[in-house]
């Protein structure tokens, strides 16, 4: 019937416009494939370029001269609609994936920048006090130098040294916290005895006059980065010394059973941490203090750094109540694989 599209016989060659549109589509697909494969420095989905290149052949195969006796619309003609639809769907899928990846990267960048800004702000606040003290003591020493006795001068110099050590400690914590926040600790695990790691930590720990005993009844080894694990232990020792009665002992012990994790316990004689606060004190910049220690200075980064480094090793750090009172900082680490 003349009105039936599939029964209309073409008596002439396809219109010039059809050839032009077909070739334009083929060229567009080839250009897109070339740009996807060769122009992008980091193509996230190179198979899209391959699909575009392969799809060019199908529209070209559908360009033909009408044959007498055949319907003008053939299955090959329908492919000209299907193929671009498939390519378009692939492009949309790739674009959605790429957008999601970029959004995650952007969110992570904002998180890192926000964390760094917070760290810098808090550290600047914590440094203002000791820096002001150093300046005031130095100014008083200079103004009254001739009237001061040698013991008084030594006392002033000792105060300056004490405040300077506090400043260096805060700056060091800021540096480690920034590295951890940016996930750039650069761990190099190797088999090490935990007793040796603890001894390394004690060389730089601020014990504040607290005697530290190290109990090593058995040789416990773990695959750890000795430098970074020593930093985590040092932060734990500093925290125990900061929140314990003056002169009280700090005990460090090791445990390890076949098939179980290696453990380091740092036990102090402080007032302890309530159960509802034990996760909070591991957060960044925690300001909670136990009763009687409300005025103890600190950036609130010590236990945050400790747990972060231990978790980077595949372990964890938790707080528990000691049987004789006080707090146990328990560090669990995967055992060395023999």
Query: What CATH number corresponds to the domain at position 283?
Result: 3.30.565.10
Cα 119-309-126 angle, rounded to 5 deg: 25
In sequence order, what are the beta bridge partners of 328? Answer: 267, 320
Regarding whether 134 and 84 lie in a shared domain, the answer is no
pLDDT digits (tens, 9 = 90+) for 40-83: 555 545 555 555 555 555 555 555 555 555 555 555 555 665 66
Q: C-alpha 59: how far from its chain's center?
A: 49
Is there a domain that residue 230 lies in? Answer: yes
| Whole-angstrom distance, CA of residue 133 vs CA of residue 183 | 34
Least confident of 103-107, 264-268, 315-319, 327-331: 103-107
pLDDT score recorded for residue 268? 93
| Whole-angstrom distance, CA of residue 88 vs CA of residue 252 | 64
Does pLDDT of 204 surpass 70? yes
Regarding whether 134 and 61 lie in a shared domain, the answer is no
Is there a domain that residue 27 lies in? Answer: yes
Regarding whether 195 and 326 lie in a shared domain, the answer is yes
For residue 224 the two structure tokens come to 């750890």
Number of domains in the chain: 3
Regarding whether 57 and 15 lie in a shared domain, the answer is yes
Least confident of 99-113, 268-282, 283-297: 99-113
Average pLDDT, stretch 250-274?
86
Does pLDDT of 145 surpass 60? yes
* Average per-residue pLDDT for the chain: 76
Mean pLDDT is highest, among 44-58, 66-80, 154-168, 271-285, for 271-285
Regarding whether 218 and 92 lie in a shared domain, the answer is no
List, in sequence order, the alpha helices (H) in 182-249. Answer: 194-204, 226-242
For residue 64, the enclosing domain spans 5-104
Regarding whether 328 and 212 lie in a shared domain, the answer is yes
Burial annotation 298-325 (CB, 10 A radius, 16+ → b, else e): bbbbbbbbbbbbbebbebebebeeeeee
- What CA dihedral angle connects 136, 137, 139 and 141, to 10 degrees? 160
Is there a domain that residue 128 lies in? Answer: yes
Regarding whether 220 and 329 lie in a shared domain, the answer is yes
Regarding whether 128 and 100 lie in a shared domain, the answer is no
Regarding whether 325 and 265 lie in a shared domain, the answer is yes
Regarding whether 310 and 226 lie in a shared domain, the answer is yes
Regarding whether 327 and 206 lie in a shared domain, the answer is yes
Domain stop point among 181, 202, 219: 181
Cα 268-270-274 angle, rounded to 5 deg: 110
Domain stop point among 52, 81, 104: 104
Does pLDDT of 317 surpass 90? yes
Domain stop point among 104, 137, 166: 104
Regarding whether 305 and 236 lie in a shared domain, the answer is yes
């Amino acid at each position: 019937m003349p009105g039936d599209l599939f029964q209309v016989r073409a008596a002439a060659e396809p219109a010039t416009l059809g050839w032009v549109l077909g070739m334009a589509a083929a060229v567009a697909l080839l250009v897109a494939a070339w740009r996807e494969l060769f122009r992008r420095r980091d193509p996230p989905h190179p198979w899209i370029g391959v699909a575009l290149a392969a799809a060019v052949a199908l529209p070209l195969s559908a360009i033909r001269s009408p044959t007498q006796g055949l319907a003008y619309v053939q299955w090959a003609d329908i492919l000209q609609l299907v193929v671009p639809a498939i390519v378009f769907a692939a492009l949309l899928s790739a674009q959605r994936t790429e957008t999601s990846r970029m959004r995650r990267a952007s969110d992570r960048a904002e998180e890192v920048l926000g964390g760094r800004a917070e760290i810098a702000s808090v550290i600047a606040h914590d440094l203002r006090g000791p820096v002001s003290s150093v300046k005031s003591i130095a100014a008083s020493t200079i103004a009254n130098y001739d009237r001061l006795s040698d013991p008084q001068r030594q006392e002033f110099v000792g105060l300056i040294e004490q405040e300077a050590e506090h400043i260096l400690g805060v700056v060091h914590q800021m540096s480690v916290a920034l590295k951890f926040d940016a996930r750039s600790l650069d761990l190099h695990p190797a088999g090490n005895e935990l007793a040796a790691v603890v001894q390394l930590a004690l060389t730089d720990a601020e014990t504040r006059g607290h005697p530290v005993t190290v109990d090593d009844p058995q040789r416990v080894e773990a695959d750890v980065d000795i430098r970074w694990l020593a930093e985590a232990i040092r932060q734990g020792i500093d925290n125990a010394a900061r929140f314990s009665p003056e002169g009280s002992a700090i005990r460090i012990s090791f445990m390890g059973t076949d098939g179980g994790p290696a453990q380091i316990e740092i036990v102090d004689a402080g007032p302890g941490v309530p159960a509802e606060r034990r996760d909070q004190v591991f957060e960044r910049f925690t300001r909670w203090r136990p009763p009687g220690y409300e005025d103890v200075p600190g950036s609130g980064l010590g236990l945050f750094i400790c747990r972060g480094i231990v978790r980077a090793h595949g372990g964890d750090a938790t707080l528990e109540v000691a049987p004789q009172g006080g707090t146990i900082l328990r560090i669990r680490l995967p055992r060395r694989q023999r």
